[in-house]
Amino acid sequence: MAGILRLADVTKDYARSGIAIRNVSFELNKGEFLFLAGHSGAGKSTLLKLISMAERPTSGEVRVSGFSSSTIKEREIPKLRRRLGIVFQDFRLLPDRTAEQNVAFALEVTGASRASIGPKVSRLLMQVGLASKATAFPHELSGGEQQRVAIARALVNDPFVLLADEPTGNLDDKATHAIYLLLREINASGTAVVMATHDVSLIERTGLRFLELDKGELIFDGTDVARLKADLRGAGRR
Amino acid sequence: MRLAWREVLLAFRRSPALGFLSITTIAFSLFAFGLFGLVAINIQTALHAIENRVEVRAFLVDGAKETDVNELLAAVARLPQVADAGYVSPDSALQRARSELAEFRDVMEGAMLPGSVELRLKPGMRDPETMKQLSSRLQTYPVVEEVRYGREWVEKLYRVRTIVGVAGTGLGLVFALVAVIIIGATIRMAILARTKEIEVMRLVGATNGYVRLPYLIDGTLKGIAGGLIALALAWTANRMVSSSFMETTFFTGEQMLLGVLAGAVIGLLGSWISVGRHLRKVWHDR
């Protein structure tokens, strides 16, 4: 399977806070589901920012969907963003817009035709199980429901990969599981998913590939959860 | 585009006070500029009127003989610079003075004014050099006592006009700069109030142009509104002067359009700078 996303020896050194990512290399295959594990501050969010090119590496190269971090021009970044779906722990919904307006907003800003927006929004809200709450405002929705809206919004441009930065970080166990199932469903339909989480039990239940980051370094790439658990406990003791 | 207009309306509804502040600043900067402009324009109009009347006047000696005067008139009429020449007798000079300076009628009772020959020059022959030559030529006639011409006056007026123009432009530019800064600041506040929205826009792949457009429209509209208000203020001021002091000229249609356009440019510039700076920053946030 061809790599759709590749990091080659990537280092990100912030002038003020120091090195956030050190010599990280990995590849994501088409349609894969990949976890990013590690403590908070390990570099998971920075890694996702490097992939969405909100940040450029200090050295090394990030290649996403034909774009390279070394050559991409600022005005090309919107093009890249339209091929990615991004969700965050804090949902980032616009509070003065309803669920369907939030999803439609993402289509409007990319210049989609008005006629195409309505049906697509309905279909996406249906897909994330929120068809009945289309006209609710974010503050009228539970955390899990808000994250569903955010996921629907992330899917408007049919991304080839969904980047999720601790998407369940603000949710209870039940909602976490539901969101995870939704992401698996999306993955099953062909969209690759990169999900950052510090929830080891979630990774353990799935048995999927994960990258473990520690202080910006990639210390493990595989499926051996026992190792991850030991590492995190060890880190906890230190 | 439709979306951009909606955003503009939304922005104004959210912070009307900021909107009014921007519009008022632009209005006052252009109003200051406009007032000086009006003064300059009216001096210019006066200059034209005076220039058309520029005449050289040769005052004649007391008791000049009619034959000498006629000889002078005939000689003068042959000069290429002269459009026409006429004799003003002492009596008619006094009469004219009485009617033009009615307030001083009593003073002029029984006064004597010298007779004179008045020359009007052809257009293009009204420069100081020609006048000087003509003046010295007239001086050679024994019947001529003194030659006067209004060039000094005209030159003084020209200088006043230049000063007013420079002062007005300078002051206008300073005000315009202040307006650009204030517009920039208000747009910046509007942007800060919507950081979240802009972040989401960029997240889902909105181009810079798309994010920028509503703010540019916003700034330009405020500039145009400011320009129109400035125009209304200037018109009112002009009316007041016109009705109570003296007849004045107002801007032509083109000048008015230019003023409103200047407002638009100020608004556009302020928002452009502000949005540009913010967009560069959010690309590399945190």
Of A74, A81, A111, the CB nearest to B203: A81
Least confident of A42-46, A90-94, B156-160: B156-160
Helix (H) or strand (E) holding B82: strand B82-88
Distance CA B19, CA B31 (A): 18
Q: What is the average per-residue pLDDT within B243-254?
A: 82
Distance CA B29, CA B22 (A): 11
Burial environment of residue B74 by CB neighbours within 10 A (0 to 12, 13 to 18, 19 or more)? exposed
* Nearest residue in chain A measured CA to CA from B1: A111
Residue among A210, A195, A217 at smallest CA distance from A10: A217
**Vertex B250: Cα angle to B248 and B256 (nearest 5):** 170
The sign of the torsion formed by the CA atoms of A43, A49, A55, A56 equals positive
B181-210 pLDDT, tens digit per residue, is 877 887 788 788 778 888 888 888 888 888
Instruction: Check if the beta carbon of residue A40 is closer than 8 Å to that of residue A28.
Output: no
- CA of A109 to nearest chain B CA: how many angstroms apart? 5
Pairing of strands A84-88, A161-165: parallel
Least confident of A26-40, B151-165, B236-250: B151-165
Residue among A36, A51, A56, A60 at smallest CA distance from A3: A51
Phi-psi region of B57 (alpha: psi -120 to 50; beta: other; left: phi over 0): beta
Instruction: Check if the beta carbon of residue B11 is closer than 8 Å to that of residue B218.
Output: yes
Of B3, B200, B205, the CB nearest to A92: B200
Instruction: Check if the beta carbon of residue A99 is closer than 8 Å to that of residue A141.
Output: yes
Q: What is the average per-residue pLDDT within A224-229?
A: 78
Least confident of A40-54, B75-89, B230-244, B258-272: B75-89
- CA of A224 to nearest chain B CA: how many angstroms apart? 33
Cβ-defined contact of B204 to A75 (cutoff 8 Å): no
**Vertex B167: Cα angle to B161 and B168 (nearest 5):** 85
- CA of A81 to nearest chain B CA: how many angstroms apart? 5
Cβ-defined contact of B204 to A157 (cutoff 8 Å): yes
Q: What is the average per-residue pLDDT within A216-232?
A: 83
Q: Show Cβ contacts of residue A190 under 8 Å, excluding neighbours closer than 6 positions.
A: A31
Taking contacts as CB-CB distances below 8 angstroms, the residues of chain A near B196 are 92, 94
Cβ-defined contact of A94 to B196 (cutoff 8 Å): yes
Q: With cut-offs at 50, 70 and 90, classify the pLDDT of residue A99.
A: very high
Cβ-defined contact of B205 to A86 (cutoff 8 Å): no
Q: Could you tell me the pTM of the whole model? A: 0.68
Pairing of strands A33-37, A210-214: parallel
Cβ-defined contact of B204 to A153 (cutoff 8 Å): yes
Cβ-defined contact of B3 to A82 (cutoff 8 Å): no
Distance CA B28, CA B145 (A): 55
Q: What is the average per-residue pLDDT within B253-275?
A: 88
The pLDDT of residue A237: 44
The pLDDT of residue B26: 81
Instruction: Check if the beta carbon of residue B275 is closer than 8 Å to that of residue B191.
Output: yes
Q: What is the average per-residue pLDDT within A85-89?
A: 93
Query: What would you measure as the largest C-alpha separation in chain A, in angstroms?
Result: 58
Q: With cut-offs at 50, 70 and 90, classify the pLDDT of residue B282.
A: low
Q: Show Cβ contacts of residue A161 under 8 Å, excluding neighbours closer than 6 positions.
A: A4, A5, A28, A64, A65, A83, A84, A85, A191, A192, A193, A194
Q: With cut-offs at 50, 70 and 90, classify the pLDDT of residue A236.
A: very low
